[in-house]
Structure 1
């Protein structure tokens, strides 16, 4: 899927980052062959157009979240498995099944078909958090009746948007008319595709209260247009503060996103549910103060001094007060916690797959 279209979402950041780091972490005797589906009826082929050979010395790792490809190639994957090739998939969340009202009917249908294939064929399943691993384990038994569970492994995604050792200055901030460097230094930042579960509407309502009371705090949203959000998109674009205190930036480079985290006043993570929620780690690792919704998956770090939480079911006033409190407690000091980068994350994958490079 990412071979043909990269939507720039968090899921596709995982795909790109793991893919790009795999060659550095597999042992020298391992050959990585990228396979793609160019036409659904033809199934998987290598980049040279050959059909994957399979066999005991092969392994299929479905890294990309390619619901159509996996479903339409299910017989080919079954043949690979019967030839002795272990089949692995990566699951980011089960939200289209646990919270179907947040998704369109076609996306729910595609997800259910994809998960049925995973349940039927997987020898192993990677999950992006222990919470997702627990949910997948329960679903494999209760929904699909699979008692011979596949191996289910929780991995930790990397935090770094750009190479971990690269410094990105304020000159790369994603500026816009009305949004200069000084405004960005006062801003609350929300990162993520506009979709119902991401909480953009809650953020906008809370910030509207602050603006009405005279608070000079811009809200910068970075993320592409998603689904089921036409009313929210109209509310943003027609807001009287749009271009003054409210900004929505849809196409932002990795370097500019890095700079945004590093130079904003506060990163707000208002998602109602996540499999992992990369913006929390990305912001925290780059020294931004973080205010996140109080959901279990966001309580994953031991050292959380610069992460604050607001109640899961907070109304606009409660969230507005939490934002003001977080802003007042920000002393400008930037603490960078030790978090795994994508090289480390790729090592976790290949260790589980049994093809890690020896240290």
Structure 2
């Protein structure tokens, strides 16, 4: 069977080239192998003599039964491999789970490559937003950008268990990866002979293997050596690495010179024979990483194989190394590492013998190749995606309380979740109704210069999750419709169920049903239609309060979870405001249900009786009569109306006023009260179930409009400590946790 093998080859300065030499010796037992490599003049003679080698231009996939690609981050060695793998699916050995380093340079090779498109493909809106908010170096530490090569493969091999953890983190799925250990043939090192060759037979040799760079923490190792063993004439530290004249390496050299460190050696690039000598001579190797992003470390396994004691911070190898959890522990580890640690060395050697046997590893690679080609299905990293219905706010942000909640929760979900989240909205296009992608809504709100095709109707996939986060009922003239009802009529939710989609709805409240007198014409009818449609869909409901849950249970719903709303608790520098009189605050959209008129009447009565108490009302104008609107827009001695204020000023009002008044006749939640509590405000609240539910004993309650007057008149401020609040991130995590538990 003909196998095309793509990899760096000796004498390339790449650990993968050495890896391939070892793997090829065993794969040739199963396949007729042709190496695909562009620069034949650079290839080591031993490889030329053993294998057929052709250039990429000569390569044609139809001439081969199997394709095997080695993928890493070095753009020089892997650019053509990546380009070929994308076009010609095969099996990929993914040596580095994170390909963000490779992607940062790929545009130099492929002029059609767009890093923003690649980030969006791998990490959706979360990744795209982080890309525009951070430097690329910082972004690259947290986003692997590897989805495209994975999904253009029949199988992916990883040599590290860490990659499985990362796959779970970024894609909630590790099934597309097959973990096969890095192969290593057991050897018996001759330490004394190797030391003699290096003229270091009387020294304890400490080595650092690997190309010099910040991720291997070579600077930190040097600093620790300077503070521990630099004056020990029996010890020597060798950077057996291969060096370049980059700034990082030159800084190391300068530090050595400045601090007069004499027992340090920097080698040039080592060929295989030289590398074998240094590994054999080494007593203690120091192998560290600033971050573990799923890279395979052949050098670490070589250290195990050559029986040196390894000082390491690799969490997956704690039992086989002198493990340090913090770089501060390195200095002590260097001083004490030779004290009774032979069992660690024996355990590490036994790991090589039992888990990394080359024939066993190569056989498992062969088995994976054959199994994957038998199916010949490209991989899919995402088991599921979240279709986030934002139909109302995508049409128009009416700046209501619910609109604000939807935006905050949406932002929190996009911020914390690595699940594939697709905002969608219900619309009518060319007389066709359906759900469409709403990506432009996200990018435009965040000021991201990235255009999505929003003309595409949502394609429902197996395992999708539908989450109706918005309140998609439109009763702003001339629209009187429920998006959920319309979608149900055209069979959208039946299609979801046929694809085994989990369906969730956030229910903020059903106030138009329980308190119809406060809402527009048709609101109650539309909400009843909406509730009845949801009943037919039979989803899991997410209520924001016990009160809403109780209301829903009265209408026959039983699959209900309570997840409270979050709040923005930003540590703003709040300016304390000194008021002449006792000053109270009312926050919220001006509407009949929120009873600002009753609050105003109370303060007018106080003024008439000569009682000094002032009121500040904050909120946009909603459904109230014209007379009250005119009243608010006029000047009054003890009442001030502010339509819009900044978050900072609102926080100042929370912390400076006597109390915030929540007089609503009915509510689904009461978010301003929660936020006010965090900033130290006292609260006077109408005694309704939802306020008792969310505020508990942290409020002074009044029963009706008449008792409000007595409460304000006799109120004495009881300033309390800030109440610990729930953040939007917490709310988003609880929702995602619920979704994942149901998968």
TM-score w.r.t. length of structure 2: 0.41
Q: Distance in 2 between matches of 1:108 and 1:303?
A: 30
Are 1:23 and 2:409 matched, yes or no?
no
Are the aligned partners of 1:184 and 1:263 in contact in 2 as well (CA < 8 Å)?
A: no
CA 302–250 in structure 1, closer or farther in 2 if over 3 Å, else same? closer
Q: Distance in 2 between matches of 1:355 and 1:244?
A: 57
User: Could you say what secondary structure the match of 2:420 adopts?
Assistant: coil
Q: Distance in 1 between matches of 2:581 and 2:697?
A: 22
User: Could you say what secondary structure the match of 2:664 adopts?
Assistant: coil
- Which residue matches 2:468? 62
- Which residue matches 1:187? 583
Cα deviations by residue, 1:251-306 (Å, 9 ceiling, x for unpaired): 2333333332232221000011111111221111110011001111111258635x
- Which residue matches 1:257? 650
Q: Distance in 2 between matches of 1:281 and 1:218?
A: 23
- Which residue matches 2:35? none
- Which residue matches 1:72? 486
Question: Which aligned pairs between 1:82-93 and structure 2 lie closer than 5 A?
Answer: 82-93=498-509
Q: Distance in 1 between matches of 2:695 and 2:610?
A: 36
Are 1:292 and 2:681 matched, yes or no?
no
- Which residue matches 1:119? 535
CA 95–301 in structure 1, closer or farther in 2 if over 3 Å, else same? closer
The structure 2 residue matched to 1:94, chosen from 475, 490, 510, is 510
Q: Distance in 1 between matches of 2:394 and 2:680?
A: 33
User: Could you say what secondary structure the match of 1:170 adopts?
Assistant: coil
Q: Distance in 2 between matches of 1:201 and 1:111?
A: 26
- Range with greater deviation from structure 2 (108-117 or 200-209): 108-117
Are the aligned partners of 1:81 and 1:121 in contact in 2 as well (CA < 8 Å)?
A: no
Are 1:215 and 2:623 matched, yes or no?
no
Are 1:282 and 2:675 matched, yes or no?
yes
- Which residue matches 2:526? 110
Question: Which aligned pairs between 1:1-359 and structure 2 lie closer than 5 A?
Answer: 1-26=392-417, 28=418, 30-39=419-428, 41-46=432-437, 47=439, 48-49=453-454, 50-67=456-473, 68-74=482-488, 75=490, 76-140=492-556, 149=558, 151-160=559-568, 164-170=569-575, 181-183=577-579, 186-237=582-633, 242-300=635-693, 304-305=697-698, 307-311=699-703, 313-315=704-706, 318-326=707-715, 328-330=716-718, 333-354=719-740
Q: Distance in 1 between matches of 2:436 and 2:580?
A: 46
Q: Distance in 1 between matches of 2:556 and 2:668?
A: 17
Cα deviations by residue, 1:303-342 (Å, 9 ceiling, x for unpaired): 635x11111x241xx312201333x234xx4510112111
Unaligned runs of 5+ in 2: 1-391, 440-452, 474-481
CA 88–301 in structure 1, closer or farther in 2 if over 3 Å, else same? closer
CA 168–108 in structure 1, closer or farther in 2 if over 3 Å, else same? farther
Q: Distance in 1 between matches of 2:573 and 2:649?
A: 8
Alignment: residue pair count: 324
Report which of the two structures shows the higher radius of gyration computed on alpha carbons. 2
Q: Distance in 1 between matches of 2:615 and 2:668?
A: 25
Q: CA deviation at 1:20?
A: 0.7
Q: CA deviation at 1:81?
A: 2.6
- Which residue matches 2:334? none
Unaligned runs of 5+ in 1: 142-148, 172-180
Select the structure with the greater relative contact order (CA < 8 A; seq sep ≥ 6): 1
- Which residue matches 2:11? none
TM-score w.r.t. length of structure 1: 0.82
User: Could you say what secondary structure the match of 1:105 adopts?
Assistant: coil
Q: What is the aligned-residue RMSD (CA, Å)?
A: 2.4
